Amino acid sequence: MSLREGLIAVVGDKDSVLAFKAIGVDVFPVDSEEEAKERVHMLARTHSVIYVTEQVAIWADMYIKRYKARAYPVVVPIPSASGNSGMGLAGIKANVEKAIGADILFDREDK
């Protein structure tokens, strides 16, 4: 299979991902670490953008790190229905710092 331009998927626990069906995103609920790793790896061959809940991002970290060196797929961590751990925002911060060499998003002193 080859990469299909424009296809978007979301992977995570059922409660977190089912709402994405309403906007036409390919939805893949997973229940275990092994299932999450396999699904992310398979979707990387067919989808341009893969949203993953923070738990799936932790489980499939090995694959996600490998994809960061490539243009596609773009893997984006999102909060789950159970809450936000800050992982997604930390990833954005790191990418901005890497791209421009400075922390322009959070470079402030707490007063």
- Beta-sheet strands, E only, within 4-101: 8-12, 26-29, 49-53, 74-78
This prediction's pTM: 0.74
Give the tens place of pLDDT for each residue, 22-79: 999 999 999 999 999 999 999 999 999 999 999 999 999 998 888 888 888 888 888 8
**Domain count of the chain?**
1
Cα dihedral sign, 58-43-16-20: positive
Tell me if 104 is assigned to some domain.
no
Q: Decide if 92 is inside a domain.
A: no
Cβ atoms 95, 84 nearer than 8 A: no
- The yes-or-no verdict on residue 110 having pLDDT over 80 is no
CATH of the domain at 12: 3.40.50.10580
pLDDT reported for residue 36: 96
Q: Which residue has the higher pLDDT, 97 or 50?
A: 50
* Domain boundaries, position 55: 8-81
Burial of residue 86 (CB within 10 Å: 0-12, 13-18, 19+) is exposed
Looking at residue 80, its pLDDT comes to 80
> Which two three-digit tokens encode residue 91?
């990833």
Residue 20 falls within a domain, yes or no? yes
